[in-house]
């Protein structure tokens, strides 16, 4: 069987997630982000397209590197205002049967005890379709509003997250035996107390002596998502993640990242393919190449250069408001910008120097990932090339115009992929984990959470 | 117009909320608490009955006073396992148009910054139908799992909650002006940054310098619920609450509580009726009195004495496992029990002394509130008597058997109340606040949150 391609959709509980300024497009629906209908329509659409899941990003702060304030972010609707992603899941689960939900939440936001219950609750309500995208840090502006002067130092953050996950794994895997809940109506026994165990966690950051307060859900531990690419981030992902989201400007850069991640998985005692890797892509397509190019040109008219600079400044850690838009990128004092410039030159010949404004216009639609424009056949070719060259499992599809971008993919690209036998005709049965890994609803024995199972621990 | 009666339903994300052991009843659906269908069916049912709202209780710990362990609670399914209530709202909102959702969350569980966003998100998604039941404390077992040795001392807890609410009110009322979000597609301005204000809160417990991260929702501040009856609790409710839930064994006890609350409202500069007061009642009804009595007798067969003692021990703070079930209540060393005994004697003549087992059997269905049994006419008479004698606005209806108890009320009681002209035929328009108070979607000028409005603060 030829190598299969998987799709995820990438959105956020705000306007114009990776498409700066495109909330102005007359067909864009992202202004409805604060209604239930926006999300239930989207979930049903993605399920029609046999997407693995919907991945919902999140930040709890504003982008304020650009100009040193949040003014540009507010003016451009650049991921602010932004609402909570967890609260969308039950409405979307009610109107779908198979779609997974990968929801972002930070290990620095909430004590693990109530957080464990939130995810168990969603895993119950979705019948095992919840993934959690683990974020270890947050924007400095979020840290300040949580009463901290700044976020923890990078590697220290991961140590904190390690213990945070340990508490969660003990609660999810190590507290209730599978047959603890008996619901014996004759004997009047709902739960057998002998089969529910306090976790007795006493660590550096957390003391959690008691039992998990939720009964076991279909997956117990939700599918763990991760999106870090630093060395410590990759080590963390290798131990914990079952789906990994990356962004790379080209297939050869991606190939190196993917190899590093798969090597990390092996180093952590897991199979190289135990985590599905999805790379960020924005697809603009239509009935023909010409249609697609016209659509892209039309979208570009609504893109916001200032919005894109606001994001890019935040991502790269440099205040680009100091530069004119026609300043050559080569003059910007920033290692991140200089390394990006190398990729930009490979990506496209401008016939002149790349400027700050060019970078912004390139990032305005699709953020740090590539934007691929073409007919369904052309898109399919390009996706197959990325998979072949980079050993990636699938694509994390951002939108230019919500929900039109995904509708176009379903109409023009998926039929071609199916014709080629490289895209599923329907969903596999079972939970999200079973769909992704095909090896059961629960974590594999080689995966870190399994170390905290009741059966692995000394049971009093 | 004769005095109107309002209904709320009272449930919890677990089995047999106030009906110990009744998860064993063959028609009880509470075992489905961990499915979306249980909640969407319930929401649609309650909307058919023109209920004001569904009030979802919560605890984050187990009842462990009885026997000094959580074993009896687990065995009886006594509010454990219990899932998160907030995550139910969006699914229920998707299938209803008017029903309000009053959801319990503690001020000790989570930092107010992310919590403010959770409730703003729900107020957006429900189009202004969210109420928040403010809980200032929690079970000691919950405190331990949050890394604290015990919960804060009672009055100090309220001081902490006061500041917690101050932060929330500043975020909800004081950060974004009403016309901050302009969505000007021509000018490319989503939000006017000049109309979004950092709250600059610096207090004893919290430092929150920044802006609220959500745009204004229909109600801004959700409808505030409260359920405390201590002097400090009443003062807190008088300042903050718009719906107050109480439980009293008799109408004359209730009358004193209601007067105390309404006096408190006036002392806080509000109208005596600015908070709706609902008292806990369980109704068992049928086509005739005989049917109702037979139904109650059948329910009683499934009640769990041990489960009721587990709850009662927790509520009264005394370990009743020390006593035989036929021990006279008069022998129990507890002021709370002795004061309860006085009410029990007024409530029913046993023809012998009340025992520990009698108290448990009485509390097994309906908890600390009365259980009223009779035909629709008889129930209506009794509810009218309570309203007339106690000046209460309505009733918080627990279930004996889910959802049958509420179905019976809708079938047998509400038509009688409507015939008497004392129950709404349909919903008033607008948000939950508008439906309860009839004075607009936003908090009244005399209500504490209004003090933190943008217009009331020095705007930089």
A230 is in an annotated binding site: yes
The nearest CA of chain A is from the CA of B401 a distance in Å of 15
Percent of chain B with pLDDT over 70: 98
Cross-chain Cβ contact A62/B90 below 8 Å: no
Query: Does residue A460 carry a pLDDT above 50?
Result: no
Residues on chain B touching A114 (C-beta within 8 angstroms) = 60, 84, 109-110, 146
**pLDDT over threshold 70, residue A150:** no
A193–B76 CB contact, under 8 Å: no
The CA distance from B159 to the nearest CA of chain A, in Å, is: 18
Percent of chain B at pLDDT exceeding 90: 86
State mean pLDDT over B448-454.
95
Query: At A8, which helix (H) or strand (E)?
Result: strand A6-12
Q: Which of A4-13, A346-355, B121-130 has the lowest mean pLDDT?
A: A346-355
pLDDT (tens digit per residue) in B116-132: 999 999 999 999 999 99
How many helices and strands, by DSSP H and E, does chain A display? 16, 13
The whole-number pLDDT of residue A233 equals 87
Chain A nearest-CA residue for B87: A87
Length of chain B: 460
Mean pLDDT value across chain A: 94
> A455 pLDDT exceeds 80?
no
User: For residue A190, which of B56, B284, B82 has the smallest C-alpha distance?
Assistant: B82
Q: Cβ of B121 and A87 within 8 Å?
A: yes
User: pLDDT tens for residues B30-48?
Assistant: 999 999 999 999 999 999 9
Q: What percentage of chain A carries pLDDT values higher than 70?
A: 98
Cβ-Cβ contacts under 8 Å between A and B: the total is 215
Of B74, B91, B142, the CB nearest to A91: B91
**Residue A33 marked in a binding site:** no
Q: How do residues B359-369 score in pLDDT, each as one tens digit?
A: 999 999 999 89
**pLDDT score at B277:** 97
Per-residue model confidence (pLDDT) at position B260? 96
Which tokens belong to A130? 């919840």
Distance from the Cα of residue B82 to its chain's centroid: 16
Which residue, among A213, A217, A50, has the nearest Cα to A131 in the 3D structure?
A: A217
A455 is known to lie in a ligand binding site = no
Q: Report DSSP state, residue B368.
A: T
Residue A84 is labelled as binding a ligand:
no
Residue A170: CA atoms inside 13 Å, Cβ hemisphere, count? 25
> Rounded distance, CA B421 to CA A278, Å?
61
Share of chain A above pLDDT 90, in %: 86
Closest chain A residue to B71, measured at CA:
A193
Asked whether the predicted pLDDT for residue A301 surpasses 60, the reply is yes
Length of chain A: 460
Q: What is the pLDDT of residue B372?
A: 97
**Mutate: best of B12, B64, B132, B188, partner A, most A CBs <10 A:** B188
Å between A142 CA and nearest CA of chain B = 9
Q: Examine the pLDDT at A351 and tell me if it is beyond 90.
A: no
Q: How far apart are CA A401 and CA A407, in angstroms?
A: 10
- Catalogue the E-assigned strands of A179-231: 181-184, 189-191, 201-202, 207-208, 223-226
Residues of A in contact with B99 (CB under 8 A): none
More confident residue, A26 or B139: A26
Residues in chain B with CB shorter than 8 Å from the CB of A181 are: 81
Structure tokens that stand for B8 in this block: 């709320």
Reported as a pLDDT band with limits 50, 70 and 90, residue A141 is: confident
C-alpha A67/C-alpha A322 separation (Å) is 8
Does residue B266 surpass a pLDDT of 80?
yes
What does pLDDT average to over chain B? 94
Angle, vertex CA A217, rays to CA A214 and CA A220, nearest 5 = 100
Nearest to A125 among B34, B120, B211 (CB): B34
Q: Round to whole Å and give the CA distance between A238 and A448.
A: 10
Is B208 in Cβ contact with A145 (below 8 Å)? Answer: yes
Give the DSSP letter of residue B66.
G
DSSP bridge partners of B220: none
Q: Which residue in chain B has the smallest CA separation from A182?
A: B75
Q: What letter would DSSP give residue A331?
A: G
> What is the rounded distance in angstroms from the CA atom of residue B10 to the CA atom of residue A434?
37
Contact assignment for A188 to B76 by CB distance below 8 Å: yes
Q: Would you call B76 and A114 a contact, using CB atoms and an 8 Å cutoff?
A: no
CB A246 within 8 A of CB A225: no
- 3-state DSSP percent of chain A in helix, strand and coil, to 5: 45, 15, 40
Note whether B81 contacts A145, CB cutoff 8 Å: no
Asked if the Cβ–Cβ distance from B70 to A211 is below 8 Å, we say yes
- Specify the residue for token string 């050559």: A328
Is residue A83 within 8 Å of residue A14, measured between CB atoms?
yes
Task: Report pLDDT digits (tens) over B172-188.
Answer: 999 999 999 999 999 99
Min Cα distance B453 → chain A (Å) is 19
Establish how many alpha carbons lie within 13 A of residue B280's alpha carbon, considering only the half-sphere containing its beta carbon: 23
Query: Is the pLDDT at B457 greater than 70, yes or no?
Result: no
Under DSSP, the state recorded for B332 is S
Q: What is the mean pLDDT of residues A407-432?
A: 98
- Kindly indicate the confidence band of residue A30, based on its pLDDT and cuts at 50, 70 and 90: very high
Going from the C-alpha of B94 to that of each of A95, B43, B217, the distances in angstroms are 10, 10, 17
* A128-140 pLDDT, tens digit each: 999 999 998 767 7
User: Which pLDDT band, with edges at 50, 70 and 90, does B458 fall under?
Assistant: very low
| pLDDT confidence tier of residue A142, bands split at 50, 70 and 90 | confident
B412 marked as part of a ligand binding site: no
Instruction: Identify which of A91, A121, A145 has the shortest CB distance to residue B90.
Output: A91
């Amino acid at each position: 069987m030829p190598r299969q391609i998987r799709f995820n959709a990438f959105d956020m509980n705000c306007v114009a997630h990776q498409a700066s300024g495109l909330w102005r497009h007359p067909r864009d629906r992202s202004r409805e982000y604060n209604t239930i209908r926006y999300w239930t329509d989207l979930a049903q659409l993605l399920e029609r397209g046999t997407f693995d899941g919907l991945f919902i990003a999140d930040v709890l702060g504003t982008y304020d590197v650009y100009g040193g304030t949040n003014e540009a972010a507010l003016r451009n609707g650049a991921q602010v205002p932004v609402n909570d992603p967890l609260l969308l899941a039950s409405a979307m689960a009610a109107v779908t049967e198979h779609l997974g939900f990968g929801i972002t939440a930070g290990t620095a936001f909430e004590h693990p005890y109530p957080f464990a219950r939130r995810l168990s609750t969603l895993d119950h309500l979705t019948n095992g379709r919840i993934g959690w995208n683990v974020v270890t840090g947050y924007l400095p502006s979020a840290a300040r509003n949580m009463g901290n002067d700044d976020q923890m130092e990078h590697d220290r953050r991961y140590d904190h997250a390690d213990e945070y996950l340990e508490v969660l794994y003990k609660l999810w895997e190590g507290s209730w035996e599978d047959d603890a809940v008996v619901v014996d109506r004759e004997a009047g026994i709902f739960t057998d107390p002998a089969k529910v165990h306090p976790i007795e966690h006493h660590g550096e950051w957390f003391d959690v002596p008691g039992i998990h307060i939720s009964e076991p859900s279909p997956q117990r531990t939700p599918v763990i998502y991760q999106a870090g690419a630093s060395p410590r981030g990759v080590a963390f992902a290798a131990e914990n993640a079952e789906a990994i989201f990356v962004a790379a400007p080209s297939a050869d850069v991606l190939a190196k990242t993917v190899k590093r991640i798969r090597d990390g998985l092996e180093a952590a005692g897991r199979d190289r393919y135990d985590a599905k890797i999805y790379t960020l892509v924005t697809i603009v397509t239509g009935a023909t190449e010409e249609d697609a190019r016209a659509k892209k040109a039309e979208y570009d008219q609504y893109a916001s250069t200032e919005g894109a600079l606001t994001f890019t400044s935040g991502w790269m850690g440099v205040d680009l408001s100091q530069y004119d838009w026609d300043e050559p990128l080569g003059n910007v004092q920033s290692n991140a910008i200089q390394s990006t410039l190398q990729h930009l030159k490979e990506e496209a010949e401008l016939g002149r120097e790349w400027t700050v404004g060019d970078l912004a216009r390139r990032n305005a639609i699709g953020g740090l990932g590539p934007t691929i424009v073409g007919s369904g056949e052309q898109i399919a070719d390009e996706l197959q090339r990325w998979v072949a060259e980079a050993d990636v499992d699938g694509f994390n599809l951002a939108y230019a115009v919500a929900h039109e971008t995904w509708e176009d993919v379903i109409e023009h690209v998926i039929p071609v992929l199916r014709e080629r036998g490289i895209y599923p005709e329907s969903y596999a049965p079972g939970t999200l984990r079973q769909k992704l890994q095909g090896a059961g609803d629960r974590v594999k024995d080689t995966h870190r959470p399994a170390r905290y199972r009741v059966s692995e621990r000394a049971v009093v």
